[in-house]
Amino acid sequence: MKTKIFLVRHGQTDWNIERKYQGQKDIPLNKTGKAQASILADRFIREFVISAVYSSDLKRAKETAEEIAKRFQLKVQIHYGLRERNFGLLEGRKIDEIIKQYPGVHMGNIETFGSFDIEPFHLLKNRVYLAVKEIVKRHVGENIALVSHGAAINAFLHEVSKGEVGPGITKLTNTGISKIIYDHEKDQWIIEQINDDSHVDR
């Protein structure tokens, strides 16, 4: 039996536009983000069959998930394991400022620059992986939507791809969908598609 996972990054926030680290700060969707969530949900109802919708507890993810859930008359189930990475002292700071202060810094090596009190990458990967694994075991043979965050999703992709994709390699856009299949019998993850954002207006 297989479970198909639609792993979705939340819609746009003001901090996304300002290029600030959000981390676990509870920033809501902005006007564009709400419109993106609605368009995303319209696509889900047209193209996919979903039996459950899960989300991080942070507003930007939950608000995105609620749009999808409404289309299928489902309730959003919160899982704290889907939360964004804790970026410690970087939260609220502009990415460009960090790059200027620490040339060469990017998501793949950020732990090596300064003492920012960031959630260690191996702990982030383990947290998100265990959350997704727990959820898929509840939904054998079903299609499910999980709404999370850029760094958290990339950490999961890094884990299941054995490092072929992930932070510093893969760019995830707002409301981009990554499609992943979990084969329960083989205990195997299959990445079908990464960051399908064909529904987003350019």
pLDDT value at residue 187: 95
- Mean confidence (pLDDT) of the chain: 95
pTM score:
0.95
Rounded mean pLDDT, 47-56? 97
Specify if 83 maps to a domain.
yes
Per the structure, the complete domain to which residue 54 belongs is given by 2-196
Query: What pLDDT, on a 0 to 100 scale, did the predictor assign at position 202?
Result: 63
Residue 111, in any domain of the structure:
yes
pLDDT category at 23 given cuts 50, 70, 90 is very high
Asked if the structure places residue 49 within a domain, the reply is yes
Is 185 part of the annotated catalytic residue set? no
Looking only at the bridges linking them, the beta strands covering 188-196 and 52-55 are: unpaired
The pLDDT value given to residue 21: 95
Task: Identify the burial level of 188 via C-beta atoms within 10 angstroms of its C-beta, where 0-12 means exposed, 13-18 middle and 19 or more buried.
Answer: exposed
202 located within any domain: no
Q: How many domains does the chain have?
A: 1
* Residue tagged active-site, from 10, 79, 149, 158: 10
pLDDT in tens, 74-104: 999 999 999 999 999 999 999 999 889 888 8
Q: Are strands 52-55 and 76-78 parallel, antiparallel or unpaired?
A: parallel
CATH code (residue 170): 3.40.50.1240
10 catalytic per annotation:
yes
How confident is the model over 8-23, as a mean pLDDT? Answer: 97
pLDDT tens digits for range 129-162: 999 999 999 999 999 999 999 999 999 999 999 9
Residue 35 maps to a domain: yes
Question: Could you tell me if residue 12 is inside a domain?
Answer: yes
153 part of a folded domain:
yes
Please check the confidence at residue 9 and state whether its pLDDT lies above 80: yes
- Distance separating alpha carbons of residues 46 and 180, to the nearest angstrom: 19
Q: Is residue 201 assigned to a domain?
A: no
Q: From the candidates 63, 67, 84, 91, which is the catalytic residue? A: 84
